[in-house]
A and B are shown apart, each in its own frame.
Chain A
Amino acid sequence: MTGLAARNALAWMLVAQVAVLAPMLLRFPWWISVVCFCCGLWRVLIYQQRSTYPHWSIKAIFVFLTLAGLLLQWKSLLSLEPWIGLLLLMFSLKLLEMQRVRDVYQAILLGYFVALTHFLYDQSFLSSCYTFACVLMITAGLVGCQQVRADLRPWLPLQKAAVLIFQAVPLMLVFFVLFPRLAPLWSIPQAGSMAVTGISDQMRMGSISELTQSSKLAFRATFADRLPGSQSLYWRGLVLNEFDGETWSRQSSSHNSNLYRSGRRAPQWLSDREVISEPVRYRILMEPSQQKWLFTLPMVMPAANWKIGLSSEQHLVFSEPIRNRIGFNVQSALRYRVDTNLSQSERAYYLRLPAEGNPQSRSFARRLNESSADKQAVAEAVLAFFRQEQFYYTLRPGRLEGETIDQFLFASRRGFCGHFASSFTFLMRAAGIPARVVVGYQGGEFNPVGNYIEVRQFDAHAWSEIWLQGLGWVRMDPTAAVAPERIELGIEAALQEEGSFLENIPVFWLKLRGFAWLTEVRFQIGAWSHYWNSFVVGYDPVMQLNLLSRFWEGIQIQDLAHLTLLSFVAMMFLLAIVLLRSVKGRHYSEIVLVFNEFSALFALLGYPRLKHEGPLDYCHRLALQRPDLAEAINEFSEHYIARSYAGDPAISVKALKRRIFGLRLRLLKPVS
């Protein structure tokens, strides 16, 4: 292949290239887009014959500059980004030498590779549809390279590519389901620069309210049997146990650093857990957050997956930051008793406060402690304080500085869940009650179509846990005392008056919940996206074996390989039959087909049409050989001849077909 590429192939290739580059360029530094744009513009000028191909020295300078740019941008080559950047740049620079058919082929192969990188960043349903559309266009470029007279049929490449992909899909599906899914063959650089989303392991007074401006999906939970009430839907993420006067953060200490993984030796704290109610079973499909925290209802049971550890603070931790969507099955006992025997050192640990600061709050706590009968009464008193005083649940709390707890409790009294949890826990510790802040999500929206609970970033929440003698850790949600509707109806209802919910997103359609049909559509789309994520994106080795063992008890990975091979052969055989069967029939007009049908009918009866016989001769012979049908045969032949040779418009092909049908019926009837 040394010939010049056809213009049609080039045109298709340019279209495909723009389509496949666009989503990647949005994720990469601006200067890469600039380089790509320049190359594209240059190529279009060449295409319009207003410019020529650059000299090799110019190309060399281009390559050198872009390589230097990549190195300056990322400094190391160990992460994935510089390599993808390199791929994008090479793909664009290839434009400047896309001259011969061979170059177009190389560009096309690179194009498929760029399509692959889409999936490393986004596997959602819509984005995948887009990527496969790109694959279609790249394939059209491939067809364009083969086309001889492109000017006559400019759309042929797209049509042909669509047909090919349509025919390839069944085989692809078979492979997708059956091909043995393997564990990673070797470790690879991961996409690293992705933004960390969701709950973080630090909480300042107002930090959670930032999250509530995002409607991004956090995770979906599908319950196996019954659905817990909204008051129980406290999705624990992680525990913050260290306060520096302003920020609650997570400190690893000897108490909470050891994780229990199933199959390992059980640590001592694991025995200090009492299950009171029957555990509920559910499956969480977690969106990538780039963090390790998993969100579950308390009290969570150790997960079967060895990558998921259970911390001594009763939350699950993944073994690495969650870069891809993961799904896991888990159980939680909604009524429980945990850590009833807290050691002295642990107790001291959960009582730690900065040496000074917030004196007003400290003395308030001390007074409450003195006036109350027991520790539980202190907590109740604080909750009553929140309830009775003029506290506002708001997303616009105003800025607090200095003695933040004091200011909040006794001055501003406007706050969000973070303010309430933070000050409540402070008061508890000051009153000598071991306490900690728990961050996670609360509530979620039930999707009746997909039968799951959908938790979004705006459901982020913070609350407290206090330790009481004999009861262990008990959940206390001061926000519920101030704004009970937050827990019962969700954050939107709680903020309805204020109108601050998702206020930064002007036309967000979640706001349009008032319309019933729109809610229905939203549920449908959500459910569809959930199925996509769980069954297509989440199709992993475990799910594969689970699915296939439904049909084949005890299926092994070797069986899968054999099965794949067998179905491959079977599918190819089917495809070959469909594609390669003779298409002679298409040659004949409809009327000839009718006569063929007629002769086929009599051939079945033992009177095949002889090669030398014309239709008329054949019908005469048939009439002689089957006097019982002679009338019908003669009528048919008369009509056929009139239609076929005289072109009589009064006789329709349909009528002829009806006659054959009538003959068929008569033949089927038992001879009387």
Chain B
Amino acid sequence: MNAKQHPFGRWRDSARFRSWLNRRVPPQKEITLYLRNIFILPSRQGVYFSLLMIVILIAGINYQNSLAHALAFLLMSLFMVSMLHTYRNLSGLVIVAGKAGEAFAGDEVDFTVTLSCAGGRQHEALTVYWHGHLQTQADLVDKSEIALKVRTNATQRGWFDPGRLTIETGFPLGLFRAWALVDLDCKALVYPRPVAEDSPPLLAAGDSDDFYLRGEHSDDFAGVRNYAPGDLVRAVSWKASARLGKLMVKEYASSSGSLKWLDWQLYEGVDEETRLSHLTYWVNEFSEQGESFGISIPGVEIQPTAGESHRQEVLRTLALFGTDAA
């Protein structure tokens, strides 16, 4: 469903509408849908259906046909009853915002949204989406809770606010569309967009030779990594290179190892965002290879180590660099 088809399409972005909506449906971690936050209007099919109803009634009048009257009234009653059913299909639904997934700017980010029923009703054919993004369909039948991953695009690094979540339904007849626009007060941490570059901005710590010849004589093969200028030709893994289509270098685990420092200062004449992007790229690379690394950016210095929590800490620092939340 694109913005054009949205009933509030034209003015859903206007400030007045937003402030009205914020007053009517204030941001909450957990929202139960009921009279105040459910909107309902006839769908396009509903409009056609009511036109058909009128045509049948006119035919009934003109042909003085009693059963055509009955048919027109039956359709009208169906229309009205389906309105109540469609409303009922949303009302009593409890929406809770869960954790947001990990994402880099420009990627898609998943928000976990939990739907449950407060009223013990069944909720069928629910469509859940962030405005303008992928729709997720769900049923809440014979179970009282369901967790959905609802996807949107993370545009910028930092704390990303996806806006209002739309939960809509046309069930049972599709003649009405009931929907709720809820602000679940959830945010996703979006890391900077990784941008590849040839060599890492490494600050040599100690003997540079030691760094370049690191562990090559050791016997513990640890994996392969991208070729970097300066790597020894015999360290190149030709098998892996042929498979991946780029030069790869064999790596050997080394207990002593050397400390890598990714250094902000090594970029010269490069703007902040690009620096962050490159740094993110290298954080990913090193983490994938299980290497220890430290990072130093203005105001923050994280000691070299490896592991998932280290990676997240570093990425978080990069994501929030220069923002209020930092």
Chain B residue nearest to A580 (CB atoms) is B88
Contact of A169 with B77 in the complex, beta carbons under 8 Å: yes
- Given known pairs A160-B172, A575-B84, A580-B88, the reply for A135 and B74 (CB within 8 Å) is yes
Contact of B174 with A538 in the complex, beta carbons under 8 Å: no
- Given known pairs A109-B48, A584-B120, the reply for A575 and B65 (CB within 8 Å) is no
Contact of A120 with B65 in the complex, beta carbons under 8 Å: yes
User: Whole-angstrom distance between the alpha carbons of A109 and B53 in the complex?
Assistant: 10
The interface residues of chain A lying within 8 Å CB-to-CB of B125 are 146-148
Chain B residue nearest to A106 (CB atoms) is B48
- Given known pairs A116-B56, A116-B68, the reply for A184 and B78 (CB within 8 Å) is no
Say if the beta carbon of A168 comes within 8 Å of chain B: yes
- Given known pairs A113-B52, A116-B56, the reply for A145 and B174 (CB within 8 Å) is yes
Give min CB distance, B245 to chain A, whole Å: 37
User: Which of A106-163 touch B at CB < 8 Å?
Assistant: 109, 112-113, 115-116, 119-120, 123, 128, 131-132, 135, 139, 142-143, 145-149, 160-161
Say if the beta carbon of B138 comes within 8 Å of chain A: yes
User: Which of A482-541 touch B at CB < 8 Å?
Assistant: 536-540
Say if the beta carbon of B73 comes within 8 Å of chain A: yes
Say if the beta carbon of B30 comes within 8 Å of chain A: no
The interface residues of chain A lying within 8 Å CB-to-CB of B91 are 580
Say if the beta carbon of B313 comes within 8 Å of chain A: no
Contact of A582 with B119 in the complex, beta carbons under 8 Å: yes
Contact of B67 with A128 in the complex, beta carbons under 8 Å: yes
Give min CB distance, B300 to chain A, whole Å: 47
Question: Interface code B155-180, partner A: CB below 8 Å = 1, 0 otherwise?
Answer: 00000000000000011111100000
**Contacting chain B: which of A38-46, A171-179, A357-365, A391-399?**
A171-179
Say if the beta carbon of A592 comes within 8 Å of chain B: no
- Given known pairs A105-B174, A145-B174, the reply for A181 and B48 (CB within 8 Å) is no
User: Whole-angstrom distance between the alpha carbons of A88 and B180 in the complex?
Assistant: 40
The interface residues of chain A lying within 8 Å CB-to-CB of B137 are 148
Chain A residue nearest to B68 (CB atoms) is A119
User: Whole-angstrom distance between the alpha carbons of A142 and B45 in the complex?
Assistant: 10
Question: Interface code B107-148, partner A: CB below 8 Å = 1, 0 otherwise?
Answer: 000000000000111001100000000000111000000000
Say if the beta carbon of B250 comes within 8 Å of chain A: no
Contact of A148 with B172 in the complex, beta carbons under 8 Å: no
* A contacts with B: majority SS: helix
Contact of A537 with B62 in the complex, beta carbons under 8 Å: no
User: Which of B57-101 touch A at CB < 8 Å?
Assistant: 58-59, 61-71, 73-78, 80-82, 84-85, 87-88, 91-92
The interface residues of chain A lying within 8 Å CB-to-CB of B62 are 184-188
User: Whole-angstrom distance between the alpha carbons of A135 and B76 in the complex?
Assistant: 13
Chain B residue nearest to A583 (CB atoms) is B120
The interface residues of chain B lying within 8 Å CB-to-CB of A580 are 84, 87-88, 91
Contact of A109 with B66 in the complex, beta carbons under 8 Å: no
Say if the beta carbon of A642 comes within 8 Å of chain B: no
The interface residues of chain A lying within 8 Å CB-to-CB of B69 are 176, 179, 181
Contact of B48 with A119 in the complex, beta carbons under 8 Å: no
Contact of A540 with B124 in the complex, beta carbons under 8 Å: no
Say if the beta carbon of B49 comes within 8 Å of chain A: yes
Contact of A146 with B48 in the complex, beta carbons under 8 Å: no
Residue among B65, B71, B91 with the highest chain A CB neighbour number at 10 A? B71
Contact of A139 with B78 in the complex, beta carbons under 8 Å: yes
Contact of A164 with B173 in the complex, beta carbons under 8 Å: yes
Say if the beta carbon of A167 comes within 8 Å of chain B: yes
The interface residues of chain B lying within 8 Å CB-to-CB of A585 are 120
Question: Interface code A296-339, partner B: CB below 8 Å = 1, 0 otherwise?
Answer: 00000000000000000000000000001000000000000000
The interface residues of chain B lying within 8 Å CB-to-CB of A68 are none
Contact of B139 with A148 in the complex, beta carbons under 8 Å: yes
Say if the beta carbon of A550 comes within 8 Å of chain B: no
- Given known pairs A113-B56, A164-B82, A324-B64, the reply for A146 and B172 (CB within 8 Å) is yes
The interface residues of chain A lying within 8 Å CB-to-CB of B175 are 142
User: Whole-angstrom distance between the alpha carbons of A167 and B78 in the complex?
Assistant: 8
User: Whole-angstrom distance between the alpha carbons of A128 and B137 in the complex?
Assistant: 38
User: Whole-angstrom distance between the alpha carbons of A421 and B64 in the complex?
Assistant: 39
Chain A residue nearest to B48 (CB atoms) is A109
User: Whole-angstrom distance between the alpha carbons of A584 and B174 in the complex?
Assistant: 26
Give min CB distance, B9 to chain A, whole Å: 15
The interface residues of chain A lying within 8 Å CB-to-CB of B78 are 139, 164-165, 168
Say if the beta carbon of A612 comes within 8 Å of chain B: no
Which residue of B56, B61, B63, B77 contacts A112 across the interface (Cβ within 8 Å)?
A: B56
- Given known pairs A579-B85, A583-B121, the reply for A164 and B172 (CB within 8 Å) is yes
- Given known pairs A185-B61, A186-B62, A582-B119, the reply for A116 and B88 (CB within 8 Å) is no
Which residue of B59, B81, B138 contacts A164 across the interface (Cβ within 8 Å)?
A: B81
Which residue of B61, B71, B139, B170 contacts A115 across the interface (Cβ within 8 Å)?
A: B71
User: Whole-angstrom distance between the alpha carbons of A539 and B92 in the complex?
Assistant: 43
The interface residues of chain B lying within 8 Å CB-to-CB of A112 are 52, 56, 71, 75
User: Whole-angstrom distance between the alpha carbons of A181 and B84 in the complex?
Assistant: 28
User: Whole-angstrom distance between the alpha carbons of A448 and B75 in the complex?
Assistant: 37
The interface residues of chain B lying within 8 Å CB-to-CB of A575 are 80-81, 84
Contact of A537 with B77 in the complex, beta carbons under 8 Å: no
Contact of B66 with A583 in the complex, beta carbons under 8 Å: no
16 contacts between A and B (CB under 8 A): A115-B71, A119-B65, A142-B173, A145-B174, A147-B124, A148-B125, A148-B138, A168-B77, A168-B80, A171-B81, A184-B62, A185-B61, A188-B59, A190-B63, A324-B63, A579-B81
Residues of A within 8 A of B (CB): 1, 105, 109, 112-113, 115-116, 119-120, 123, 128, 131-132, 135, 139, 142-143, 145-149, 160-161, 164-165, 167-172, 175-176, 179, 181-188, 190, 324, 536-540, 572, 575-576, 579-580, 582-587
Residues of B within 8 A of A (CB): 44-45, 48-49, 52, 55-56, 58-59, 61-71, 73-78, 80-82, 84-85, 87-88, 91-92, 119-121, 124-125, 137-139, 170-175
